[in-house]
Amino acid sequence: MQNVVLTIHLILAVLLTGVVLLQRSEGGGLGMGGGGGTGGVMTGRQAANALTRLTWIFGIALFCTSIALTVIAARESSTGSVLDRFGGATAPAPTSGNLPQLPTYAPPPGAGQPVTPPAPEGAVAPAAPAVDAPAAVEPVAPPAPADGSATAPAVPPAPAN
């Protein structure tokens, strides 16, 4: 049914375009000529009236087929969403009463810990936070060489002023 109405609709659109182009315009255009000399079946005024009537008839018919196509398309459509046809989001099952079930929230792992933003390129990394230092340990002297010779510990040179 829809294909028949669509075919009629397209034919009416072409006929309406042709009738409009045949009408006489102020500049001549594709009009049927002027005058209305003797010996013709129709005078210029009668031809203009006939084309005006055809324009109205084709226009009303085009409007009616447009409405018919809309009604046919509405009857054939489903009440579901377009997303449902493509396997999109589905509606959750209703819970008790008219209220929908609220989603639950579970924080991601590591939530609640401070987050430090990354340092920009070329920036010096911030110092680590102070940590309690262990008890003071005295420096241990290096072990003596195995050959028994005593060597003096290396002392770095003093800076020159």
40-81 confidence digits (pLDDT tens): 566 667 777 888 899 999 999 999 999 999 999 888 876 666
Q: For the full predicted model, state whether its pTM sits above 0.75.
A: no
- Give a yes or no: residue 73 inside a domain: yes
67-77 per-position pLDDT tens digit? 999 999 888 87
Tell me which residue range forms the domain holding 61: 2-34+44-79
Report the number of distinct structural domains present in the chain.
1
Q: Is residue 142 part of a domain?
A: no
Residue 24 lies in a domain: yes
Q: What is each CA distance from 6 to 23, 74, 88, in whole angstroms? A: 26, 15, 31
Cβ neighbours for 6, distance < 8 A, ≥ 6 positions apart: 69
Give the DSSP letter of residue 151. Answer: -
Position 141 in a domain: no
Q: Is-contact 10 17, C-beta < 8 A?
A: no
What is each CA distance from 19 to 53, 56, 59, in whole angstroms?
A: 10, 10, 10
In a domain, 28, yes or no: yes
C-alpha R_g of the chain: 47
Q: Is residue 29 part of a domain?
A: yes
The answer to the question of residue 96 being in a domain is no
Domain annotation covers residue 50 = yes
